[in-house]
């Protein structure tokens, strides 16, 4: 009986085993002698990159409209409907928390029904929610619609898209994930100023309806036309390799040996939560988002408090989103070459260093030194979280495990902003808050190094 050593070198082999098992569990086994359509054989671009493009569009819209545009909307809602900023922002926070709570459910639906169907359903829910937002009159209606919007955004967000990309890429998973996550940064760059212009031109109610139409016209056809459940449906293996295509005789022996054995490389949620890796990963991202969320929310006010002009403060926030694009690509590519935990440690370490610079900004006189370091590293979090889950726990229960981690990180992110605000209200200064976030980032970086994939074990139902 073969045994896998507990190290990172087994990951690529384990991933190949996992794909073969998943293919058999789905009831679809491609016959090497079957005829594959010539147009698919002749494709120069691996279809997985179309999956990446579709995921890019999903995140560009769901995060750009569903997250980045709401700070623009909530000012209009609080002033025009007389709700006050406290109650309005509370509804938005509830949206993020509910989105985290439904994430495990979405995670279970994706492998059962496919990313395509989940994204289609989420697009319809999101579009309908935006129509209702344009028609609402009372605060309770706003809260109720936000609950539906949270479900729709979860179904079009990182869980279904990262699941699809993880299924189509193994060797280049980090690069593919990083490219897809660029949609998040571009969503902020595009939809924040666009929302402002649309509201100025048509009012906030019509702007909501415009976004509803936009979601229907772009997300629905993207999901329907592009998403496929598995590479095997097109007669290829992950990363675009054709079955039976080997360049090295020794590779053929490895594949034959893999095909003849069944090692359990996928973890069920109930087993994953018993591992140290799960809680180390969850703890690292809880602490990191606890610091990242308030810095994003409060940095403009902080810069203005220390004498930086509102225009320059707003430019700094926009530049953070732009540099985050480079960070997504960098950390995704790094995770292809090294274990994801090293990329996580570097990401959180840079954010800690960037927050030190934020604390020193009054002496430096410019916010852009902070932006360069912290904004770049900020892009790594959303890219690395799904990558480390896939690396440690496989694909079979990937969605529900990632969704469970999202629940925990949602509470961490939601708590950070009011925590910093309370410290400011008491001390009239953010200094203590920034110091605490430096410490949480440092702990996150240390925890990341402990996120070692659990040992692969042979289970009874997989006995030879």
Q: How confident is the model at residue 233 (pLDDT cuts 50, 70, 90)?
A: low
Supply 454's token pair.
């659990």
Q: Which CATH class is domain 263-464?
A: mainly alpha
Nearest CA among 73, 221, 220 for reference residue 134? 73
pLDDT in tens, 373-390: 999 998 888 889 988 998
Distance separating alpha carbons of residues 384 and 349, to the nearest angstrom: 14
Contact 360, 464 (CB under 8 A): no
pLDDT of residue 229: 63
Average pLDDT over residues 328-344: 90
Any idea where the domains of the chain sit in the sequence? 39-241, 263-464
Distance separating alpha carbons of residues 398 and 267, to the nearest angstrom: 8
Nearest CA among 69, 208, 191 for reference residue 136? 208
Mean per-residue pLDDT of the chain: 78
* Helix (H) / strand (E) containing 317: helix 310-337
pLDDT of residue 333: 87
pLDDT in tens, 394-431: 877 887 888 888 888 888 877 787 788 888 888 888 89
Q: How confident is the model at residue 89 (pLDDT cuts 50, 70, 90)?
A: low
In the predicted structure, residue 24 carries a pLDDT above the cut 80: no
Contact 321, 295 (CB under 8 A): no
Q: How confident is the model at residue 38 (pLDDT cuts 50, 70, 90)?
A: very low
pLDDT of residue 208: 94
In the predicted structure, residue 82 carries a pLDDT above the cut 80: no
Q: Which comes out higher in pLDDT, residue 179 or 264? A: 179
In the predicted structure, residue 14 carries a pLDDT above the cut 50: no
Q: Do 39-241 and 263-464 come out as alike in CATH topology?
A: yes
**Where do we find the tokens 């059962």?**
112
3-class DSSP assignment, residue 395:
coil
Superfamily of domain 39-241: MFS general substrate transporter like domains (1.20.1250.20)
pLDDT of residue 165: 86
3-class DSSP assignment, residue 307:
coil
Q: How confident is the model at residue 195 (pLDDT cuts 50, 70, 90)?
A: confident
Q: How confident is the model at residue 243 (pLDDT cuts 50, 70, 90)?
A: low
In the predicted structure, residue 94 carries a pLDDT above the cut 50: yes
Average pLDDT over residues 51-76: 82
Q: Which comes out higher in pLDDT, residue 344 or 34? A: 344
In the predicted structure, residue 319 carries a pLDDT above the cut 90: no
* Helix (H) / strand (E) containing 82: none
Please enumerate, as own/partner, the contacts of 72-77 that have beta carbons within 8 Å and a separation of 24 or more.
72/192, 72/195, 72/196, 72/199, 73/195, 73/199, 73/204, 73/207, 73/208, 76/199, 76/204, 77/142, 77/204
């Amino acid at each position: 009986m073969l045994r896998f050593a507990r190290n990172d070198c087994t990951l690529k082999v384990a991933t190949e085993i996992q794909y073969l098992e998943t293919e058999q569990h789905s009831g679809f086994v491609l016959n090497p002698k079957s005829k594959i359509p010539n147009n698919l054989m002749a494709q120069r671009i691996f279809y997985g990159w179309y999956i990446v493009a579709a995921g890019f569009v999903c995140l560009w819209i769901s995060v750009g409209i569903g997250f980045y545009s709401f700070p623009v909307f909530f000012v209009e809602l609080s002033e025009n409907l007389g709700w006050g900023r406290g109650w309005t922002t509370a509804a938005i926070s509830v949206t993020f928390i509910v989105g985290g709570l439904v994430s495990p459910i979405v995670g279970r639906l994706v492998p059962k029904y496919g990313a395509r169907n989940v994204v289609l359903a989420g697009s319809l829910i999101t579009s309908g929610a935006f129509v209702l937002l344009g028609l609402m009159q009372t605060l309770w209606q706003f809260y109720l619609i936000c609950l539906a919007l949270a479900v729709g955004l979860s179904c079009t967000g990182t869980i279904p898209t990262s699941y699809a990309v993880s299924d189509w890429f193994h060797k280049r998973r980090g690069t593919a994930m990083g490219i897809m996550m660029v949609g998040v940064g571009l969503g902020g760059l595009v939809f924040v100023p666009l929302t402002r212009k649309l509201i100025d031109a048509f009012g906030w109610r019509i702007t909501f309806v415009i976004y509803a139409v936009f979601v229907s016209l772009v997300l629905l056809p993207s999901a329907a036309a592009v998403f496929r459940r598995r590479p095997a449906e097109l007669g290829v293996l992950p990363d675009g390799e054709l079955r039976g295509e080997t360049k090295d005789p020794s590779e053929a022996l490895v594949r034959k040996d893999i095909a003849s054995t069944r090692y359990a490389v996928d973890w069920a949620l109930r087993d994953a939560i018993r591992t140290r890796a799960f809680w180390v990963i969850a703890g690292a991202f809880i602490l990191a988002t606890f610091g990242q969320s308030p810095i994003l929310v409060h940095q403009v006010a902080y810069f203005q408090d220390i004498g930086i002009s509102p225009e320059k403060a707003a430019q700094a926030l926009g530049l953070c989103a732009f540099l985050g694009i480079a960070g997504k690509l960098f950390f995704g590519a790094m995770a292809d070459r090294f274990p994801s935990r090293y990329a996580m440690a570097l990401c959180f370490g840079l954010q800690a260093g960037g927050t030190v610079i934020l604390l020193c900004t009054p002496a430096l006189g410019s916010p852009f030194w902070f932006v360069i370091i912290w904004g770049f590293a900020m892009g790594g979090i959303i890219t690395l979280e799904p990558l480390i889950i896939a690396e440690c726990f496989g694909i079979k229960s990937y969605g529900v495990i990632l969704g469970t981690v999202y629940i925990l990180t949602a509470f961490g992110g939601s708590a950070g902003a009011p925590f910093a605000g309370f410290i400011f209200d008491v001390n009239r200064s953010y200094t203590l808050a920034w110091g605490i976030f430096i410490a949480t980032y440092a702990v996150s970086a240390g925890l990341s190094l402990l996120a070692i994939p659990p040992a692969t074990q042979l289970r009874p139902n997989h006995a030879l």
